[in-house]
C-alpha cells in the first residue's frame, strides 16, 4: 500500500480533531477501520443512534465494541451486547473481560449469570 497523500493525511487529521475518541479507539485496533466503521463510530461519538447493516464478516462488531467503549467511560452507563448464540456470548464475554476487567463485565444466558 502506498503512503497516504497530503490530502488523505489532512482528512485524517481533521477527523481525529472532530472525533478524538474514535481516533484513539481506531489507533488501538490491530487493523485499519473501514469507512463504514469510522462513520458508525463518528455517529456514536456525536451522540446519535446507529444501525449497521453489512454482510457477515464485514466488521459490524467493531462499531458495537466502540459503543461499549463509550459506555465504559461513564461510571453510571451500561451497555448490553446481545448475540444469537451462547458460544458467541461466551467468547465476547471473555474478550470484554480482557479489556475492562472481571468486575465491570457480566454475562447472562439461560444457564449462566455472572455479574448480572
C-alpha cell at 11: 482528512
Q: Is the pLDDT of residue 8 over 70?
A: yes
pTM of the model: 0.84
pLDDT of the residue at 1: 64
Kindly state whether residues 45 and 19 are assigned to the same domain.
yes
* pLDDT value of residue 11: 84
Angle of the 61-72 helix axis to the 35-45 helix axis, nearest 10: 30
Residues 60, 40: one domain?
A: yes
**Same-domain check for residues 70 and 91:** no
Residues 39 and 54 occupy one common structural domain: yes
**CATH number of the CATH domain containing 57:** 3.40.50.300
**Structural domain that includes position 55:** 1-76
Length of the chain: 116
Q: Are residues 70 and 35 in the same domain?
A: yes
CA distances from 67 to 21, 52, 90 (A): 11, 12, 19
- Asked whether residue 69 falls in the same domain as residue 111, the answer is no
Same domain, 70 and 100: no
The proportion of the chain whose per-residue pLDDT surpasses 70, expressed as a percent, equals: 99
Residue 84 confidence (pLDDT):
84
Helical (H) or strand (E) element with 6: helix 6-18
pLDDT in tens, 79-89: 888 888 888 89
Amino acid at each position: 500500500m502506498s503512503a497516504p497523500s497530503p490530502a488523505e493525511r489532512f482528512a485524517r487529521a481533521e477527523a481525529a480533531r472532530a472525533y478524538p475518541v474514535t481516533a484513539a479507539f481506531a489507533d488501538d485496533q490491530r487493523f485499519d477501520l473501514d469507512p463504514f466503521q469510522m462513520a458508525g463510530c463518528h455517529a456514536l461519538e456525536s451522540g446519535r443512534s446507529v444501525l449497521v447493516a453489512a454482510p457477515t464478516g464485514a466488521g459490524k462488531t467493531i462499531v458495537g465494541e466502540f459503543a461499549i467503549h463509550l459506555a465504559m467511560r461513564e461510571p453510571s452507563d451500561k451497555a448490553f451486547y446481545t448475540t444469537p448464540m451462547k458460544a458467541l456470548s461466551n467468547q465476547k464475554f471473555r474478550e470484554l473481560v480482557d479489556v475492562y476487567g472481571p468486575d465491570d463485565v457480566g454475562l447472562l444466558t439461560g444457564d449462566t449469570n455472572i455479574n448480572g
